[in-house]
Amino acid sequence: MPSYRAPLDDIRFLLDHVIGVDQLATLPGHEDATPEMIHTVLAEGARFCEEVLAPINQTGDAEGCIYHEGSVTTPAGFREAYRAYCDGGWPGMVAPAAFGGQDLPRLMRIVLDEMMCAANLSFSMYELLSHGVTGALERWGSDALKARFLPRMVDGSWTGTMCLTEANAGTDLGLIRTRAVPAANGHFRLTGTKIFISAGEHDLTENIVHLVLAKLPDAPAGTRGISLFLVPKRIVQEDGSCGEANGVRCSSIEHKMGIRANATCVLDFDDAEGFLIGEPHKGMRAMFTMMNSARLNVGMQGIGLAEVSYQNALAYARDRRQGRASGGGADTGAEADPILVHPDVRRMLMTMKAYTEGLRALAVWVGLQLDLEARHPDAGARAAAADVLALMTPVIKAFGTDTAFEVTNLALQCFGGYGYIRETGMEQFVRDARITQIYEGTNGVQAMDLLGRKVPEDDGRLVRHFLGLVHADLAAAVAVPAIAALAARVEQAAQALASTTKQVLTRAQTNPDEIGAAASDYLRLFGLVATGWMWIRIAMAAVRTEAGAPQRTIEKLGTARFFVERLLPTVHALAAQISAGAEPIMAVDLS
Amino acid sequence: MPSYRAPLDDIRFLLDHVIGVDQLATLPGHEDATPEMIHTVLAEGARFCEEVLAPINQTGDAEGCIYHEGSVTTPAGFREAYRAYCDGGWPGMVAPAAFGGQDLPRLMRIVLDEMMCAANLSFSMYELLSHGVTGALERWGSDALKARFLPRMVDGSWTGTMCLTEANAGTDLGLIRTRAVPAANGHFRLTGTKIFISAGEHDLTENIVHLVLAKLPDAPAGTRGISLFLVPKRIVQEDGSCGEANGVRCSSIEHKMGIRANATCVLDFDDAEGFLIGEPHKGMRAMFTMMNSARLNVGMQGIGLAEVSYQNALAYARDRRQGRASGGGADTGAEADPILVHPDVRRMLMTMKAYTEGLRALAVWVGLQLDLEARHPDAGARAAAADVLALMTPVIKAFGTDTAFEVTNLALQCFGGYGYIRETGMEQFVRDARITQIYEGTNGVQAMDLLGRKVPEDDGRLVRHFLGLVHADLAAAVAVPAIAALAARVEQAAQALASTTKQVLTRAQTNPDEIGAAASDYLRLFGLVATGWMWIRIAMAAVRTEAGAPQRTIEKLGTARFFVERLLPTVHALAAQISAGAEPIMAVDLS
């Protein structure tokens, strides 16, 4: 069985020395969120993930969910774990105090997300979307709805879902057919079928709160005619208690490649009672409140799976003995050396380490922006944080999960044949990771969001701002002898990003296909540059703190070097591929 | 359910116009193997794969193998399919006529392998190793053993296995503990436990012939002390009939990520009767006869899975409608356009197509060398073919399967959420493909075989010979206006391969870790250059045959361009990564 230890040391180093988590306590309302408090809470969360969630991950996969006549039974241990999760107060960690939450910085939740997903992705998915529902309700819901639903969401009594997809409407939500008609009491009645609804039905809570995209009778065509509704599984009575069943039924669950312990449901809405959230026909705007938070979370899922895979591969490589080091046996007392001595095994391990730690740094930096955007007293600082979030959300989601899938596969590979059998658990990480490249908008959709929407926005303001941050850090790094050469190579990569950006946007003025043709390669290029920049920041922090942790400084500088010299060069291949333009992609007739 | 149509048109084009299959009929003993005869037989094989094997692929995965008290039951339909396979005479296709075979060119088998693996990888694995066993027995067995075993292997009455791996000896076979002791009658008695034995037990045939690596009492340590033994599941009597059970028992089967319809067995040998194959302590040499053939076959497994994945992704992309083409709706009569119009979807499809067709060309060219090596009247030509085989076997195995895994994942991605559910069958291709990167020597082992053994051999003779072939074709291609620019870029890539080769070999003289540190990137670089070269050959053939097939010429030139402009640039990133050397990989202390 795989093991998991939350990487608290790395997290602490990143928060304290790379992104400056002490900023949080300067934000209004977060005065108590000192580094000490943050690390204490995270250590408690880590223990919960290690001791409660990780032990039921592999059994949950083997058992899966059971569907019977509209009900879903979760695997053994999930109900108890969910109860412990609620007892610990975790569901309300970042929710407003007015509704019973603890109002902690959202960055803390981002870090907890990584640990939960590393320990048990399927479990984490039961409550992941609750946060999106809570957020959307808080921002767009009426006071009456908030009062009736939020306290029970915040204390974990009820969970939430996002009901977007239909059989004929996935990426293209404009095609949805679910209808909502006004009812006498100001409610609405919804009818239609939603598919791929994560945690759409389960036995963890007495009620489930669905946020549903549907069209009103007078709706304009396409996405501009979509409204958002809250539809509870059970009718919630005036006193807040759960009454009779609403017209929502789970008609089946999917048999999937992975996340088998999470129920992916087909939900039939049949004249179900619902409440409008936000304005009529403006549902997409409200939905994006949820979706952006969920996309960042999916990136954390990837990082979590990368981390747990790496940990287990490293442990195996230290333990498994096959062959001899190329310069002669390293351990003459044994009949073979640990496979860690083989350069090709180390290449895999270093690749995993450099991606995982680099991505984590990037993700916590982005996570910090959530709090800066929400609470910074200066409007300019809030806007800058919002810009970073808009730009980086698709990068964290898509680059994070593409890379995580690569990392889980490298980890499996380190196990050789043992990696392919279920017992070791490595192939579960691969199967679980594979969904993260698809849901909450496929990674192709993320790439289009980045290059088709975020990058061109306001004549490239977001990218300029980002590259400004990068250049400033690199300029400082060039003055540090141990880092100067690496920083120069990241600078080259950043320049390749800048020139590629300009080239694509210019071409797109005459051929709109240039955006789509470049998008996926561009997102990867962007992710590599951003992670390379993070490695320079990590290296700088390691040098700054060398006195207190000389070994860590050596390790971080060495990993930074590995990233820059052995992974970052792909940037230039991607730039060359993008510069070939759309024509080679579009020319062959595939119809 | 996924569908499969054998790509006979592409195969015919490659055989007839790219590699010159008409050479085969000039080889002694293959006079009947005219292109017409070859394509007739392959078309028959294609029908068998499409009609018999493909329909039981998904059901076989769902059902899996059942283990009960030493016996394995294969999924529904497998027994009938195996009988039909034998009735069709397929097991003896390339076996010697003296033992009942048809003695057809081995290239034909390579092509059939691709089709069988595309249709049903698990099924193909039941008889894959029979060919290796037949080959090893034919070459190294005594006349008595040949007479007793070969006819029943050749007609498919019995299948074969390769028993190498033990719990503590995978890549490092020198560590095996299975013992063989001489018995009175000239036989041996084997005791030990082998794991990961594909098709080690099943209900398809009355007997199974195991080739087993074991150590004799006086064996030297390490791989120089390994001998090879033939151990039948049931004792074969003087008259050739199967008698009592031998001391071999399947004690369990693995629960695996994929190839679930093939039984991967733990085999316990307990004083089992065995026969020495070849000389004592020379078992590794005999085993390599099997292993090289199996490695080439695993490459074909990858290409088959890539092909079937691509076919289904293309069909889905033509059918599924989401969103509008970026330049405005392409199909104004429908509410959305087929996703094929989106550049990012086309990028995925073109990537799959360019890899799959390019790899197939490379593989059939390598397959042709099997026959040239075996039958060419000129010793120099035989030696040249042997050189190509030695060099290219690890490339086909590792680059073929790494790329195939990428292709199956791209195909899954085209399906969005539907790709992740079992019903569409796309995730099975991913799970099945994953093992091909591991078994028959992990892809890391292949990379070490290429760069640590094949490339340095005789001061680089094999690579020089290969690059000579490449340069000659590229020189001719530069004279063809439609291809000249592409050929120039492949030439740059080939030069990067040449200079990287020289650089690594020079460095390795002072630091042996340089080989292992470069190996995997080097193999990928090599594979990309070889596939790029093949695309130039394909383009040349397409131009030569333009009069008869103008559409094909446009398609092949367009795909060649896509490969060269959008995939090949990675070569230069790989060269840069390799040139960073071993230090960034080895410096960080991971112990």
* pLDDT one-digit tens code per residue, B541-554: 999 999 999 999 99
Contact B343 A420 (CB under 8 A): no
- What is the radius of gyration, based on Cα positions, of chain A? 24
Q: Which residues of B touch A529 (CB under 8 A)?
A: none
SS3 (DSSP) at B421: strand
Q: What share of residues in chain A are helix, strand, coil (percent, to 5)?
A: 60, 15, 25
B/e letters for A298-332, b = 16+ CB within 10 Å, e = fewer, are bbbbbbbbbbbbbbbbbebbeebbbbbbbeeeeee
- pLDDT value of residue A329: 66
Contact A322 B434 (CB under 8 A): no
Q: Which residues of B touch A164 (CB under 8 A)?
A: none
- Residue B564's domain spans which residues? 453-591
Pairing of strands B248-253, A71-73: unpaired
Closest CA in chain B for residue A559: B588
Contact B257 A422 (CB under 8 A): yes
Find out whether B579 and B500 touch, Cβ atoms under 8 Å: yes
Within-domain flag for A566: yes
Rounded to an integer, what distance in angstroms lies between the CA atom of residue B543 and that of residue B550?
9
Within-domain flag for B582: yes
Which of B588, B589, B591 best tests the A interface by mutation, with the highest count of A CBs <10 A? B588
Cα of B406 to nearest chain A Cα, Å? 10
- The amino acid occupying position B119 is A
| Assigned token pair, A70 | 């509209």
Find out whether A216 and A204 touch, Cβ atoms under 8 Å: no
Query: Cα angle at B316 between B313 and B319, to 5 degrees?
Result: 155
Burial class (CB in 10 A: 0-12, 13-18, 19+), B551: exposed
- What is the radius of gyration, based on Cα positions, of chain B? 24
Rounded to an integer, what distance in angstroms lies between the CA atom of residue B114 and that of residue A223?
45
Give the nearest partner residue to A343 out of B349, B567, B585, using CB atoms.
Answer: B585
- pLDDT value of residue A188: 98
Give the nearest partner residue to A519 out of B323, B344, B567, using CB atoms.
Answer: B344
| Assigned token pair, B345 | 């979807």
Could you tell me if A517 lies within 8 Å of chain B, comparing CB atoms?
yes
SS3 (DSSP) at B141: coil
Rounded to an integer, what distance in angstroms lies between the CA atom of residue A301 and that of residue A398?
11
Closest CA in chain A for residue B577: A566
HSE at residue A128, side-chain half, CA atoms within 13 A, is 32
- Residue B288 scores a pLDDT above 90: no
Mean pLDDT of chain B: 96
- Residue B332 scores a pLDDT above 90: no
- Residue B292 scores a pLDDT above 90: no
Could you tell me if A437 lies within 8 Å of chain B, comparing CB atoms?
yes
Could you tell me if B194 lies within 8 Å of chain A, comparing CB atoms?
no
Find out whether B267 and B200 touch, Cβ atoms under 8 Å: yes
Average pLDDT, stretch B161-179?
A: 95
Catalytic residues of B: 440
Which residue matches tokens 């009454």?
Answer: A243
Which residue matches tokens 């028992």?
Answer: B249
- pLDDT value of residue A575: 98
| Assigned token pair, A511 | 């051929």
Where chain A has pLDDT below 50, the residues are: none
Contact B437 A170 (CB under 8 A): no
Q: Which residues of B touch A413 (CB under 8 A)?
A: 437-438, 442-444
Within-domain flag for A527: yes
Contact B420 A434 (CB under 8 A): yes
Catalytic residue list contains A279: no
SS3 (DSSP) at B250: strand
Sorted by sequence, the CB contacts under 8 Å of residue A526 that are 6+ apart come out as A395, A399, A450, A497
Q: In the 3-class helix/strand/coil scheme, how is A277-333 assigned residue by residue? A: ECCCCEHHHHHHHHHHHHHHHHHHHHHHHHHHHHHHHHHHHHHCECCCCCCCCCCCC
SS3 (DSSP) at B384: helix
Number of domains in chain B: 1
CB within 8 Å of chain B, chain A residues 274-333: 314, 317-318, 321-323, 326-327
Could you tell me if B398 lies within 8 Å of chain A, comparing CB atoms?
no
**Of B389, B396, B387, residue with least CA distance to B363:** B396
- pLDDT value of residue B173: 93
- pLDDT value of residue A429: 98
Beta partners for B399? none
| Assigned token pair, B590 | 């991971």
Within-domain flag for A43: no
| Assigned token pair, A149 | 């639903």
Burial class (CB in 10 A: 0-12, 13-18, 19+), B476: middle
| Assigned token pair, B408 | 């199956």
CB within 8 Å of chain B, chain A residues 357-396: none
Find out whether A78 and A55 touch, Cβ atoms under 8 Å: no
Could you tell me if A457 lies within 8 Å of chain B, comparing CB atoms?
no
- Alpha carbon A134 to its chain centroid, in Å, reads 18
Burial class (CB in 10 A: 0-12, 13-18, 19+), B564: buried
The continuous run of DSSP H or E covering B212 comes out as strand B207-214
Cα of A335 to nearest chain B Cα, Å? 8
Within-domain flag for B358: no
- Residue B329 scores a pLDDT above 70: no
Q: Which residues of A touch B254 (CB under 8 A)?
A: 421-423
**Of A475, A496, A493, residue with least CA distance to A540:** A475
- The amino acid occupying position A437 is Q
Which residue matches tokens 């060069």?
Answer: A569
pLDDT band at B565 (very low <50, low <70, confident <90, very high): very high
- Count H helices, E strands: chain B? 19, 11
Pick the catalytic residue: A127, A307, A440, A514? A440
HSE at residue A101, side-chain half, CA atoms within 13 A, is 21
**Of B49, B47, B21, B45, residue with least CA distance to B35:** B21
Q: Which residues of A touch B566 (CB under 8 A)?
A: 577, 580, 584-585
Q: Which residues of B touch A580 (CB under 8 A)?
A: 565-566
Between the CA of residue B192 and those of A94, A149, B44, B236, B270, what are the distances in Å? 58, 64, 43, 21, 7
Q: Which residues of A touch B587 (CB under 8 A)?
A: 558, 561-562
| Assigned token pair, B325 | 């083409």
Cα of B584 to nearest chain A Cα, Å? 5
Rounded to an integer, what distance in angstroms lies between the CA atom of residue A498 and that of residue B504?
33
Could you tell me if A488 lies within 8 Å of chain B, comparing CB atoms?
no
According to DSSP, residue A171 is labeled S
Contact B350 A422 (CB under 8 A): no
Query: Cα angle at B4 between B3 and B10, to 5 degrees?
Result: 145
Cα of B109 to nearest chain A Cα, Å? 27
Find out whether B335 and B149 touch, Cβ atoms under 8 Å: no
Contact A347 B434 (CB under 8 A): no
Rounded to an integer, what distance in angstroms lies between the CA atom of residue B510 and that of residue A371?
53
Cα of A273 to nearest chain B Cα, Å? 28
Contact B165 A588 (CB under 8 A): no
Angle at which helix A379-414 crosses helix A461-477, to 10 degrees, equals: 70
Beta partners for A249? A268
| Assigned token pair, A296 | 């960042």
Could you tell me if A510 lies within 8 Å of chain B, comparing CB atoms?
no
B/e letters for A571-591, b = 16+ CB within 10 Å, e = fewer, are bbbbbbbbbbbbebbbbbebe
Closest CA in chain A for residue B425: A257
Contact B417 A350 (CB under 8 A): no
Within-domain flag for A541: yes
Contact A342 B588 (CB under 8 A): no
Which residue matches tokens 């309300």?
Answer: A92
Contact A342 B562 (CB under 8 A): no
- pLDDT value of residue B289: 74
Contact A438 B419 (CB under 8 A): yes
Q: What share of residues in chain B are helix, strand, coil (percent, to 5)?
A: 60, 15, 25
Find out whether A166 and A193 touch, Cβ atoms under 8 Å: yes
Contact A569 B577 (CB under 8 A): yes
Q: Which residues of A touch B256 (CB under 8 A)?
A: 420-422, 427
Within-domain flag for A250: no
Which residue matches tokens 């306290």?
Answer: A151
Beta partners for A421? B256
Q: Which residues of A touch B417 (CB under 8 A)?
A: 165, 170, 195-196, 438-439
pLDDT band at B238 (very low <50, low <70, confident <90, very high): confident
Rounded to an integer, what distance in angstroms lies between the CA atom of residue A92 and that of residue A115?
17
Q: Which residues of A touch B522 (CB under 8 A)?
A: none
Sorted by sequence, the CB contacts under 8 Å of residue A564 that are 6+ apart come out as A486, A489, A490, A532, A535
